[in-house]
Amino acid sequence: METFDTIIYGASWYGVVRALKAAREGHNIALFHRYGFPGGFLSTAFSVCQYVDDNLPDSNTISSELYQDILHEKGGILKFGMSFVLMNPEIIKMKLLHHLSQSSVHLLFYAVPASVKKKDSSWEITFYQREGLKDYACQTLVDASENVSLERLIHPVERLDHNVYHCFVRSVRKPEYEGITDCIKLEDDRWWISVAFEMSSEDPSLAMHRSLDCLHHAMSSQNGVIQLVPMQAESLYRFKDGKKPENSPFFISEADDIKRIVLNTSKGEKHDTKNPE
């Protein structure tokens, strides 16, 4: 069984920051991820409209390094607002992957957790990988998946009523659709939009794609088109009893984290901003 000091599941912004920090401190780190690229919600759900604290660029943190790298890359920021930046998801993936490849982090893509067990002071984790099931062990386990992929294997969690997806569309005028909750104009008649959708007990991805189909018809009637479709909707979870168990992996999403993915790095490192840990 392959053993690491720390195993992190989810190459989200949190996961990448935590992995880079631990690797620089000399720890043996493995970062697992479901997809073949990093970024978490930033990459898969296009949650790229971010509130970034003014203090972050000068905070001497890994998050600052990553953000500055994206900021100075041509096309890295698609829109600067009064209180937000809208980041390019492709540049995010590229920059995060670059920083990981320059580190000692063991990066394992296309991995889905199958089971998690706590044994004394260590953890044993089994992943579905391309070559089949494989077992690993570690002293510290971090769930940075943003959809509590590890947590749900250990403790009961429930999905919150947060049914939102984001996408990029092209339209000569402001898109009109009843589910749109946020709309930001970019260059070349492009827009980044947030859409709320209804969901019953079905799979969230099915409800999202049904809404996307309706959005497609609405955009077609306005001579517009959906350019980029998200892989998943934003999803938020909480523990059913409202409290995090003591024998729990390191992270679970909070409802107000979504628009502070870049700013809120308290799960990976501490820095003095308006949003301290």
Residues 98-114 have pLDDT tens digits of 999 999 999 999 999 99
Give the pair of three-digit tokens for residue 25. Answer: 């401190």
Prediction pTM value: 0.87
Give the span between the Cα atoms of 268 and 19, in whole angstroms: 8
Give the span between the Cα atoms of 252 and 158, in whole angstroms: 12
238-275: b (≥16 Cβ within 10 Å) or e: bbeeeeeeeebbbbbbeeebbbbbbbbbebbbebebeb
Residue 255: the pLDDT is 41
The residue behind tokens 């053993």 is 3
The residue behind tokens 């989200």 is 12
Q: Which amino acid is at 105?
A: V
Beta bridge partners of residue 190, listed in sequence order: 170
Give the span between the Cα atoms of 40 and 232, in whole angstroms: 10
Cα–Cα distance list, 135 to 20, 123, 175 (Å): 23, 11, 48
41-52: b (≥16 Cβ within 10 Å) or e: bbbbbbbbbbbb
Residue 115: the pLDDT is 95
HSE value, Cβ hemisphere, 13 Å, CA-based, for 56? 27
The residue behind tokens 């930046």 is 85
Q: Are 124 and 137 in contact (CB under 8 A)?
A: yes
Q: Which amino acid is at 80?
A: F
Residue 29: the pLDDT is 97
Q: Are 253 and 148 in contact (CB under 8 A)?
A: yes
> What would be the CATH architecture of the domain defined by 2-158+240-260?
3-Layer(bba) Sandwich (3.50)
Domain ranges of the chain: 2-158+240-260, 163-228
HSE value, Cβ hemisphere, 13 Å, CA-based, for 261? 30
Q: Residues of the chain whose pLDDT is less than 70?
A: 201-202, 241-277
Give the pair of three-digit tokens for residue 64. Answer: 């600052």
Residue 148: the pLDDT is 82
User: 249: Cβ–Cβ under 8 A, 6 or more apart, which residues?
Assistant: 9, 116, 141, 142, 143, 150, 151, 154
Residue 271: the pLDDT is 37
Give the span between the Cα atoms of 268 and 137, in whole angstroms: 21
Residue 107: the pLDDT is 97
- Max alpha carbon distance in the chain (Å)? 61
Give the span between the Cα atoms of 277 and 271, in whole angstroms: 8
Residue 236: the pLDDT is 76
Residue 253: the pLDDT is 46
What is the Cα Rg of the chain in Å?
19
Cα 103 → chain centroid:
20
Residue 26: the pLDDT is 96
